[in-house]
Structure 1
Amino acid sequence: MAQQIGLFLNPVGQRRVDFQGMYADMFARLFIADGSEQATDLMGQERVDLLIIDLERFDRSFDLEALGELIGRRAGAPVLVLCPFSSAGWLPALMKFGPIGYAITPLDEGDLRAAITTQLEATEPAVTHPDDLRALLALRTRLQQALVDVDDLTTVAEQICVALCDAAGAVHASLFRMDVPGDLQLEAQYSPTGLNLTRVLHRSDRLLQSPLRHAFPGLVAACSNEMALLDAPAKAGEPELALSLVDKGVEMVVGLPLGSAPGSALAGSLCLMFGRARQFSLDELDSFVALAQLAGFGLRMAAVARENEALLGRVTHLATVDALTGVSNRRHGEHLLELEIKRARRYKVPAALIGFDIDRFKAINDQFGYPVGDAALRTVAGVVQATLRTSDALIRSGGEEFLIIVPHTSAIDALKIAEKIRVAVAQTDIAGCDRLTISLGVAQLADQESADALMLRVDAALSRAKRAGRNCVELAMS
């Protein structure tokens, strides 16, 4: 091994000096370079048995193509990439240029010497076993099936985690998502071994404020939109976290952003924990990225479905509710009355309709102004609604006119309800004006009577209440 020639590449002078001082004895000659251009010149002049690229302080947005071309020039000759665990997105990007070996940093001296020795002794690049590829394809199919016909966000997240635990060696899967207030939360998790990630992280929400956000790969990926690969818990730099993971049988953790490019808005991440550490091939890393993108797509579809449902509810609310008083509007009220008439006839039960309006409402508007009149309408509607049963329906049918559908109620009982309402309104203080009163008409649904005929009888009874001096209740004639 000592007869072989190495080339170490890193843009930081002190790192180059430190590497040369600690590992020069592993090579007959060790060159150092500060960038891809200098490394290319050296490889053109000298035989290089092992190229070591230390990615610390390189910028993927600027340096990827140059470093990739350098790997391509190797034409399969050994390359060792030293990759920070929080920047593992470099690995599949560089693997597309040619075969590489990699070691996740930080590394102690013994581990780095072992990684260098492995690459110097490697006879051919590692390839993905066909069984591993089939397992990855099966995992993707399982995830796709988990997303079919599921539009509830929580259920989708749970299904994703269950499906991902089919990955070979996986002992836990979790999904982190940005919530509405703009912080990160643990949306779902699953473990066939019973591992609870909340206990490891000491919380399940407000995770952008977690002291582990720079150490745990799931949080790193969510916060940076960058793949994170921790192949030894101690490399996280958090002893308590490392001990907790090892104690629960975790030797490797992968964090994958949910289908977002670096620099885009944060969406969340998938996190897979494994019972043993190993090297991943390009196919495996690409499959993990594709799974995260698929999961992100499923979550977005579930979120869109939830937003559509909320929008539909809002549209329905606007179409059926009176904007001023918050009770049913006339159109929806007529629909409710038709349904109640059909129900009463089908089950042969009584039903009644109460109509009322505010006495001398025009005078209130004229004397105190329309804002006071609007407040009076809202107050009366609130008082009446509080008096009714949950089965009753209050409807604003006109300016100061209201209807009340009272199911399973005879004329006598409807009269009692109407009188209770009249007293409640008469005793209520109205902001900005004197107390007011209402007049009411009551009718019980007759056999074969239409909704229009029933409302006409109620209107007639209400008119008699007005003529009788107002602030009273009249029963409609049969």
Structure 2
Amino acid sequence: MSQQAAPQGSRTGLFVNPAAARRAEFAAACGSLFGELRVADGADGALALPGLDRLDLLVIDLERFDPELDHADLARLVTARAGAPTFVLCPFANARWLPALMACGPIDYAIAPLDDEALLEAVRARLARGPAPLPEPSPRERELDALHALRTRVRLALGEGEDLAALSERLCQALCSWPGVAHAALFYLQPGGDLQLQAQHGERTLNLAKVLGRGERLLQSPLRHAFPGLLAASANTIALLDDLDKSGEPALADKLRAHGVQMVLALPIPSSGPGAPRGSLCLLFRAARRFSRDELDTLAELADLAAVGLRLADLNREGEEMLVRVTHLSTLDALTGIANRRHGETLMEQEIKRARRYGHPLALIAFDIDRFKGVNDRYGHPVGDMVLRAVADAAQKLVRASDVLVRAGGEEFQVIAPHTSAIDGLKVAEKLRTAIEATAMPGVDQVTISLGVAQLGEHESADSLTVRVNAALARAKRAGRNCVELAMG
């Protein structure tokens, strides 16, 4: 592409946003600036287009993108541009996108919202500058840029609250992004246990567990004095093996060289208090090199960040264990073991959001046991409780794994059915009705149920959906019970 800005009639642009309405609005506001304006709903669609690096301008509108879900894909898109003009429209309330994308390549940005006139001027100004070449960075600038990118990727890897295995894997992937690193590993000292190889990433044919002869109980390994990853974790020191023969273990050196490794650096991951390190970060390089003070300081900082991440992973695990215990008490109905009303309301809101985001249908089925008060009055509440459990068990066996069975109160139940239209909901309800009617009930001869079915409307709330399905259930009761009614729109 010429370093001069292309004439307006020959300019090619690409606008990326997941919402069709936003794409249409941009085309209406700025389409006149381009001879050809392409659109894509996401990074995958954009990357699939030919000539991505020859576009005069890529515009990424971050509205409706989620930093947690979409960062990796958009980072690939920015990286694929290889420095070609990229313009980002960033919502003012979500500016954390900017440093994350800047770490992937040069971008210009404007803060949204912008009216049509301001948007047109911002895009016109960016096009007017054209793809001016960036000055060639000095070796020092390249070093600092690489360290900044590495630090950013590690922070992003540690920023997501996942379990230890996922965090460790992401951390090793981030470390492998540093130029020259062929393989990265995290060794982790288990609480009350021994050192283990927690995660590794990089050279596909290289498995450190095979190189070291084991992946666990590594403090007892005969190579703990020779391999930097083990030495750093056991002796709480930075270990740098710039010549593999200096390890004193020829077999170890030969195995590493066979995978293209020439140098190994390991840093201890500090513990939160006195005592042994939490483990170590181990970097295996394709060639021996010298490190600057900034590089060593940055690596030590990353080891400190890893310590924080591991502690957070431990806290997450402890919190999840506690949450499981609390969830059992707070979200499940004590009598039937299915979701209670409050949890059902929460799940309903989640499914409504999911249905709206992906455009999938959602059905709600409400049913209750016919003349249940008579069961309690005639046979007693213990028998009534057994009937409730039997109905819940029979319904739970019939609904799909994606459905949620809820005890809404007393003898009233609901089925939240994702990916289900009103017609399919009627079929599910009829299966429930016939199955309950055919189920042997402890202490009574037979029970039946009445059911109502409703499909979520385009702009309907959970409360409105519940009102409609309960009205349909009431009609089923008035119609003689043991039948199904469809809610009115």
- Normalised TM-score (structure 1): 0.51
Asked whether 1:462 is paired with 2:450, we answer no
Asked whether 1:452 is paired with 2:467, we answer yes
Inter-partner Cα distance in structure 1 for 2:272 and 2:355: 57
Change (3 A) 1:465 1:393: farther
Inter-partner Cα distance in structure 1 for 2:349 and 2:273: 57
Residue 410 of structure 2 aligns to a residue in which SS?
A: coil
1:402 deviation in Å? 0.9
Inter-partner Cα distance in structure 2 for 1:400 and 1:163: 58
1:476 deviation in Å? 7.8
Residue 254 of structure 1 aligns to a residue in which SS?
A: strand
Partner of 1:162: 176
Partner of 1:402: 413
Deviates more, 1:331-340 or 1:144-153: 331-340
Q: CA deviation digits over 1:245-276, x for unaligned, max 9? A: 35445554332111337953642211133567
1:458 deviation in Å? 1.0
Inter-partner Cα distance in structure 1 for 2:188 and 2:275: 15
The code of the aligned residue for 2:170 comes to: V
Change (3 A) 1:458 1:261: closer
Change (3 A) 1:218 1:376: farther
Gaps of 5+ in 1: 1-130, 467-471
Change (3 A) 1:283 1:322: same
Asked whether 1:187 is paired with 2:199, we answer yes
The code of the aligned residue for 1:452 comes to: V
Change (3 A) 1:241 1:263: farther
Of 126, 147, 156, the residue aligned with 2:154 is 147
Aligned length: 333
The RMSD of aligned alpha carbons is 5.4
Structure 2 contact 244–262 (Cα < 8 Å) conserved? yes
Structure 1 contact 185–205 (Cα < 8 Å) conserved? yes
Greater Rg, structure 1 or structure 2?
Answer: 1
Residue 397 of structure 1 aligns to a residue in which SS?
A: strand
The code of the aligned residue for 1:161 comes to: L
Residue 176 of structure 2 aligns to a residue in which SS?
A: helix
- Normalised TM-score (structure 2): 0.50
Inter-partner Cα distance in structure 2 for 1:364 and 1:140: 72
The code of the aligned residue for 1:141 comes to: H
Gaps of 5+ in 2: 1-137, 161-166
Partner of 1:25: none
1:456 deviation in Å? 3.4
Identity %: 38
Partner of 1:296: 307
Residue 237 of structure 2 aligns to a residue in which SS?
A: coil
The code of the aligned residue for 1:145 comes to: T
Inter-partner Cα distance in structure 1 for 2:376 and 2:426: 27
Partner of 1:116: none
1:200 deviation in Å? 1.6
Inter-partner Cα distance in structure 2 for 1:197 and 1:154: 15
1:290 deviation in Å? 3.5
Change (3 A) 1:235 1:452: same
Asked whether 1:355 is paired with 2:367, we answer yes
Change (3 A) 1:348 1:300: closer
1:101-140 paired onto structure 2 within 5 Å: 140=147
Q: CA deviation digits over 1:78-129, x for unaligned, max 9? A: xxxxxxxxxxxxxxxxxxxxxxxxxxxxxxxxxxxxxxxxxxxxxxxxxxxx
Partner of 1:438: 448
1:387-426 paired onto structure 2 within 5 Å: 387-389=398-400, 393-404=404-415, 407-410=420-423, 417-426=428-437
1:56-75 paired onto structure 2 within 5 Å: none
Change (3 A) 1:381 1:357: same
Structure 2 contact 368–450 (Cα < 8 Å) conserved? yes
The code of the aligned residue for 2:421 comes to: H
Inter-partner Cα distance in structure 2 for 1:323 and 1:333: 14
Of 373, 384, 389, the residue aligned with 2:395 is 384
Asked whether 1:201 is paired with 2:212, we answer yes
